[in-house]
Amino acid sequence: MPKIESVDHLTEYRRKLKASRDPKQPVVLVCGGPGCLPLGSENVAAAFKTAMAEKGLEGKVLLKTCGCQGLCANGVKVIIRPEEIAYQKVTPQDVPEIVEQTLVGGATVDRLVYHDPASGTACAHKGEVPFYKGQDPIVLRKLDLIDPESLDDYLAVGGYRTLRKVLFSMTPEQVIDQVERSGLRGRGGGGFPTGRKWRLARQAESAVRFIICNGDEGDPGAFMDRAVMEGDPHAIIEGMLVGAYAIGARQGYIYVRHEYPLAVKRLRLAIEQARDFGFLGDNILRSKFSFDLKISQGSGAFVCGEETALMASIEGFIGEPSPRPPYPAQAGLFGLPTVINNVETWANVPEIINMGPEWYAAKGTENSKGTKVFSLVGAVNNTGLVEVPMGTTLRQIIGDLGGGIKDGHPFKAVQTGGPSGGCIPEQFLDLPVDYDSLQQVGSIMGSGGMIVMDNTSCMVDVARYFIGFLYAESCGKCTPCREGLKQLKYLYEEITSGRGEMEHLKLMEDLCEAMSSASLCGLGQSAVNPVRSTLKYFRHEYEAHIKEKKCPALVCRPLLKYTIDPNTCTGCLACVRECPVGAISGIKKEAQEIDQELCIKCGLCYETCQFDAVKRE
């Protein structure tokens, strides 16, 4: 790959690249996203390589592993372009048939395409699948088009066009102005107007400024940032280049959590490519602008997603937040003005400048412009990543895109915003989703996790889970958060063990009040959301735990009882082997029995039994 020395050189390189690429070139794109990778997408790609070689298709059909194709529930996903045939649930065994039928024969393999559950109609092309129909992808647009390890692929779809535009035809003020006019707000959860943040940093008196990409995606249930870092790393780099130019930064950091090894690898490679190519370094494209990037890896601390804690971590200290103001834009990393935005925010920037702020601002609602990526998971049929205009209703996202609730169970709640968010009940399903509306119902946008729950989820247990999570992750610096979470955790344990009392609920509300008003950072302030929202909308479930000592959803362990139905039990002893405390006994090939004194109610027998002989009540 050559070093690009000037704008003309870039134009020439892109022209040659485009000329060398036939738009009708057949390409097989195997999804290597966060959903398909654990399902064995590497084996599917390997099977394609072998099968294509056998048919002499090497060189005629290209094979690529791309980023997330969205519909994770039906992985491993494969898209065949230019026809855009979308195959799903592909295993290595299916591959020879696809190669034979589609690549050689030009026909579709009907059994491997999406079928509309209601009508049974086959949707062979991506555009026909309901999951993709209601979407308007900006950040996710390139994920199923390019090989994330190829800079040429990114350039071929118009990559680094925006860098060139800002460096040679825009002043930093104009860039900030456009970002401000686009209405883009921070996608990490805070929702602070991005342009205003940039302006504050530019106006701060200092010779040195920094920019940071927050890739410490810690919210359980959210994986859009992982998908973008792994699937389109150059978009983040380009967005950061634009931001650095706008605020006058020479050095940037991408902070990635170490639980995402592939994201680290891809970003590292992309940075090297950009450096070799001349998009990072001194006098980029012979302009006066110089900028470089470093990767900083997290070490496993949720609180580091909080911006001041994250910066402390980059500086080599423990991730403890510090009080704001001063805000990072005034005094951030090493005490210098710093702009910190999350992955999705940065990935929006190139497209906003490229297409213009009006184009972006035309999408969304009055105070929340553009689109938002959600990770739609839990009890829906079509789990995966969706990107929709702000203002799309929960019903559209869960019903139309998500295909409704799995196994015909009734909907109970949708949890948004990670541990800082709340649980939203059915009565608000027609709520248009944006920053403000979610807050009004006691939740938050957060980074975009959207976890759908049906009647098999216990809302007391869900709140207990989040409190337990935050208790473990609280840095311990301020008292309201440290002690408040400890007490809340204790109260939840009491309630879910059948020792709860009605006064506990009042105590919980008081604790929430103290924590939300007195905690140092967002972690403690918003930790009350799961508690308050469940207390408000699902109080009857708390009351069932306290008054009747029952968990209606059959989740809270201490309130359950496991027995074995002697008529169905075959005496296969699978449960006996699985029981960690040796509570199950009986003669082989005869019905077994659970010793209730010994039973710890872990439910392993219930999950292991192939004959539904273990009963839970």
Q: Interface with other proteins by CB under 8 A: which residues?
A: 34-35, 37-39, 72-73, 75, 217-223, 226, 258-261, 296-302, 313-319, 375, 377-379, 383-384, 415, 418, 449, 451, 453, 457, 462, 465-466, 469, 473, 475, 578, 580, 602-604, 607-608
User: Which residue number, 351 or 461, has a Cβ lying nearer to other proteins?
Assistant: 461
Q: Return the bridge partners of 393, or none.
A: 432
In the 8-state DSSP scheme, what is residue 206?
-
Smallest distance from other proteins to CB 228, Å: 11
In the 8-state DSSP scheme, what is residue 164?
H
**What span, in angstroms and rounded, lies between the C-alpha atoms of 489 and 102?**
56
Among 495, 506, 504, smallest CA distance to 546 is for 495
User: Which residue number, 248 or 449, has a Cβ lying nearer to other proteins?
Assistant: 449
The neighbour count for residue 157, using CB atoms within 10 Å, is 12
Smallest distance from other proteins to CB 601, Å: 11
Smallest distance from other proteins to CB 566, Å: 23
Among 256, 451, 445, 438, smallest CA distance to 343 is for 256
In the 8-state DSSP scheme, what is residue 50?
H
- Give the position of tokens 């005629």: 60
User: Which residue number, 17 or 581, has a Cβ lying nearer to other proteins?
Assistant: 581
**Which helix H or strand E contains 79, and what residues bound it?**
strand 78-81
User: Which residue number, 287 or 608, has a Cβ lying nearer to other proteins?
Assistant: 608
Assign 255 to helix, strand or coil.
strand
Assign 416 to helix, strand or coil.
strand
Smallest distance from other proteins to CB 599, Å: 13
Smallest distance from other proteins to CB 243, Å: 22
User: Which residue number, 298 or 389, has a Cβ lying nearer to other proteins?
Assistant: 298
Rounded to 5 degrees, φ, ψ at 77 are -90, 145
Smallest distance from other proteins to CB 16, Å: 37
User: Which residue number, 42 or 97, has a Cβ lying nearer to other proteins?
Assistant: 42
User: Which residue number, 439 or 608, has a Cβ lying nearer to other proteins?
Assistant: 608
In the 8-state DSSP scheme, what is residue 102?
I
Smallest distance from other proteins to CB 421, Å: 10
In the 8-state DSSP scheme, what is residue 559?
G
User: Which residue number, 260 or 289, has a Cβ lying nearer to other proteins?
Assistant: 260
Smallest distance from other proteins to CB 200, Å: 25
User: Which residue number, 314 or 569, has a Cβ lying nearer to other proteins?
Assistant: 314
Smallest distance from other proteins to CB 224, Å: 9
The neighbour count for residue 599, using CB atoms within 10 Å, is 17
Q: Cα separations (Å) of 122 from 109, 134, 152, 382? A: 10, 18, 35, 16
**What span, in angstroms and rounded, lies between the C-alpha atoms of 55 and 264?**
36
**What span, in angstroms and rounded, lies between the C-alpha atoms of 384 and 20?**
34
In the 8-state DSSP scheme, what is residue 185?
B
User: Which residue number, 159 or 188, has a Cβ lying nearer to other proteins?
Assistant: 188
**What span, in angstroms and rounded, lies between the C-alpha atoms of 126 and 135?**
12
Smallest distance from other proteins to CB 597, Å: 19
Tokens of 243: 């931001």
- Give the position of tokens 């609180």: 303
Q: What share of the chain is helix, strand, coil (3-state, %, to 5)?
A: 45, 15, 40
Q: What angle do CA 476, 481, 483 make, to 5 degrees?
A: 80
User: Which residue number, 133 or 294, has a Cβ lying nearer to other proteins?
Assistant: 294
**What span, in angstroms and rounded, lies between the C-alpha atoms of 467 and 423?**
14
Smallest distance from other proteins to CB 287, Å: 28
**What span, in angstroms and rounded, lies between the C-alpha atoms of 177 and 332?**
22
Smallest distance from other proteins to CB 395, Å: 21
Q: Strand order of the sheet with strand 251-256? A: 292-297, 251-256, 210-215, 338-342
User: Which residue number, 110 or 607, has a Cβ lying nearer to other proteins?
Assistant: 607
